Amino acid sequence: MGVAKRVLASLFLIGALLSTPQMSVQAASQTIIDDGVDGLTRAVNRMLGGIISYVRWPGAEQSSRTLCLVGAPRLTDRITPGIPGGGPAIAVRRLTAAAVTGGSDCDILFLGRMPADDRQRLIGWVRGRAVLTISDDDPACLYGAMFCLARKADGLSFSVNLDAIGRGPLRVDPRVLKIGQSDGGAA
């Protein structure tokens, strides 16, 4: 099964790379937001869960991951990522930047709106650590977070900062990178 997956992955990558030029011009990926009050919240949590499920932390699988929420999220206040199909449980903790750098066991760092100093310090602290950084306050994804969520006219999208991912020990499924990349290119 593992071998088959890898073969499929390489096939997919080849196909994807070949088709990238026309695709990136064609459309930017957009997660559809359902109608209703909770539509955006659900979309954000779905996207967070999706991203987390495609990230591999070094070492053994764990039954739960800790998401440390720093600053004020711009898209929704209720950050409760849902892993599709039931992956590890995500525990959400609200922390200050100092608390995070002062010693914590964060696996995921969600960066909301915060002072630029704090953001810089946190990005610096993450470097080299097995911590996934996601921001919803950086639509162009320029400040060093690995994934950046952004509200677009007709939906929710995310972009990927490949440099940031490359610096860390985390492994991200190439299919997700590709979705984020084409979106980022269009943005």
The CB-of-127 to other proteins minimum distance in angstroms stands at: 26
Tell me the Cα Rg of the chain: 16
The CB-of-21 to other proteins minimum distance in angstroms stands at: 11
The CB-of-110 to other proteins minimum distance in angstroms stands at: 17
Identify which of 126, 134, 174 has the alpha carbon closest to the alpha carbon of residue 150: 134
Selected from 1, 2, 3, 12, the binder of other proteins by CB under 8 A is 12
The CB-of-34 to other proteins minimum distance in angstroms stands at: 9
Name the one residue in this structure whose structure tokens are 């593992």: 2
Pinpoint the alpha helices (H) of the chain.
Answer: 2-26, 39-53, 97-101, 116-126, 162-167, 174-186
Helix or strand holding residue 171 (H, E)? strand 171-172
The letter for the amino acid at 10 is: S
Residues 85-124 as x/- pattern, contact with other proteins by CB under 8 A = xxx-------------------------------------
Does residue 50 bind other proteins (CB under 8 A)? yes
Taking contact as CB under 8 A, which single stretch among the options 49-57, 64-72, 106-114, 159-167 is the one that binds other proteins? Answer: 49-57
Residues 70-89 that bind other proteins (CB under 8 A): 83-87
In degrees and rounded to multiples of 5, residue 113 shows phi and psi of -75, 130
In degrees and rounded to multiples of 5, residue 150 shows phi and psi of -150, 140
CB closer to other proteins out of 119 and 178 = 178
